[in-house]
Structures are given as structure tokens and as C-alpha cells.
Amino acid sequence: MDATGDQPDEFTRAALEAVSEATELADREDRELEPPRRGWRRRLGRRVTERAERRKRIQRLGGVLSTAARRGAASAGRGAVSAGRGVSASSRWLSARVLAMAPRIQVRNLDMLRAQFPDRSPDELAQALIEGAAKASAAVGVAVGAWSVLPFVPAAGVEIATETVTVVGIEIKLVAELHEVYGRPAPGGVVDRMTAYVGAWAQRRGVALAPGGLVLVAGSPLARQLQRRLAAKAGRSVFSLGPLLTGAAAGGLINRRETRKLGRILSDDLRARSPYRNGWPD
């Protein structure tokens, strides 16, 4: 059921699909990790197989992102045209897309997370989530950087918008799940909670106040901060568009580093206020 009661536009639906594909890619890689087999031939064979599988998954993600850009090209193109008048117009357009996407992101609650990652302390679970999100955002950077080898290569403005919104979606999902891990979920309904997590993403700290539908009111300091964060994120997305496959390497590295940094900042803040400082309650 749609959390907001409105149907998202094509760009938002496409970005959500890309977020889902990237996070599933990272989760699948984690599930397939096994202790190394004995014998160098088996280890070498496994490494070759893993690299081939990862290449296929990155290509699939690239196809999803390319399709996302193509389906949202009209909407993003109109935003890009207006954005040509200034950075603030571009960041306002990105902000609107992120706020439309956030309530539709699939977030796991604490019970689901503990079932998926059994026998882990809160800090160990948080670290697993941070690494998974870092892998997912890195995969997006790599896939966008490899677009040059695909039949459809969208315009640079659409590429940047698609990567930016997709990576931000991955990071908002991480923000929400870290709040679950440390026993600090935002109050309210789906829209209020996810809007609060967008604010937490922009502020780089845990949710402290109930949003009440007012945290991101147009023109508020927090709304302006969100737009600045998105403008900076879009600026970093440019590195994924480097020549040949150098952009893929740069985009993957930068996305991984930035997502990991965000996760560590948020987990440090939430840990200090968590009721689970000494482990899970009995």
C-alpha cells in the first residue's frame, strides 16, 4: 500500500527499483560468503567464479540504472532544465525526489534485522549494516561509471540525478535501520518517520525530535541543509562519469567511503543515547 496515498512519478519509481537492486546485490554477496576451501586450485576457482558473478550483478544493476534514467529522462530533464538557472533550483528538485522516495523505501525492523544477523551485538549488527550499505552504494558508482559500454547512455544531468537519488536512498535506508538497531526509532506514521530519517541524513545525527510534519517545511533551515547536502552529493557523483572505466573505479571508491563515513557518524551518535549500551535487553 502506498504510504503517502499518491503514486510516485516514473523517476521516483525507477530510483526505488535501483535502490532495491543495489541493496539486494550487497545482501546476496554477504549470504554467499563461505570459509575458504582447502587447496589453491579450489580457492582460485572460487575467486574466479565470485568475480564473474559480481561482474554479472554489476551489469544487471547497470541495466536497472540505465533503464531508470531512460524512464525518468523526461521528468529529470525538465528538472535539469530548470536547474540550469542555479544550484539551488537543482537541489530543490533533488530534494523533492528524495522526499517522495523516502516513505516507500523498504526498512527492516529490529526483529527482522536480528533474524537476518543472529548472535550479533548491537555494534556488530550496526557494522554489518554499514558495510552492506557501503557495498551497495559502491556498486551504484561502479555501474554508473560503466554506462559507457551500454547501448543507451543517458545525458550527464540524468546520470548524476539517478546516481545521487539512488545512493541517498541506500543511505536513508541505512539511517533508518541504525535507529532500529540502537532502539531509537522515530515516532509517528511511515511518512513522519521517514521524513525524520531524511532530516537525520542531512544533519548527520540521530533523530532527536518528533517531526510533526514540520522538520522539512520549505524554506526552513533543515530544508536548506538537505538541499546543500544533496548538491554536494551530486557534485561527487560527477566522478563516476570519468573517461572509459576510470569513472567506475572513482565512483565506487567515493560512494563506499562516504556511505561508510555517514554510517559511523550516525552509529556513534545513536550509541551514546541507546538503551542497549550493554547489549540486547533480556
Q: If residue 15 lies in a helix (H) or strand (E), which one and from where to where?
A: helix 10-31
CA angle 13, 18, 21 (to 5 degrees): 125
Handedness of CA 207, 211, 214, 217 (dihedral sign): positive
124 alpha-carbon distance from chain centroid: 20
Report DSSP state, residue 104: G
pLDDT of residue 234: 82
pLDDT of residue 85: 44
Retrieve residue 119's grid coordinates: 548472535
Residues 6+ positions from 5 with CB-CB distance below 8 Å = none
Instruction: Count Cα atoms within 13 angstroms, Cβ side, for 99.
Output: 20
pLDDT of residue 2: 39
Whole-number Å distance between alpha carbons of 117 and 169: 22
pLDDT of residue 83: 42
Q: Do 61 and 143 form a contact (C-beta atoms < 8 A)?
A: yes
Report DSSP state, residue 103: G
pLDDT of residue 31: 63
What φ, ψ does residue 86 adopt, rounded to 5°? 165, 160
Report DSSP state, residue 219: T
Q: If residue 69 lies in a helix (H) or strand (E), which one and from where to where?
A: helix 40-71
pLDDT of residue 49: 56
SS3 108: coil
pLDDT of residue 17: 87
Residue 273 identity: R
Q: If residue 226 lies in a helix (H) or strand (E), which one and from where to where?
A: helix 221-237
Give the pLDDT of the chain (282 residues) as one tens digit per residue. 334 445 677 788 888 888 998 898 888 776 655 555 556 556 555 555 556 666 777 777 777 777 777 765 655 455 443 444 445 667 888 888 899 999 999 999 999 999 999 999 999 999 999 999 999 999 888 887 666 544 444 455 677 888 889 999 999 999 999 999 999 999 889 998 999 999 999 999 998 765 454 455 555 777 888 989 988 888 777 665 555 555 566 778 889 999 999 999 999 999 999 998 778 876
Whole-number Å distance between alpha carbons of 183 and 174: 14
pLDDT of residue 52: 62
Q: Do 161 and 250 form a contact (C-beta atoms < 8 A)?
A: no
Handedness of CA 36, 40, 42, 46 (dihedral sign): positive
Burial-class residue 21 by CB neighbours within 10 Å (0-12, 13-18, 19+).
buried
Q: Taking the model in full, what pTM does it have?
A: 0.83
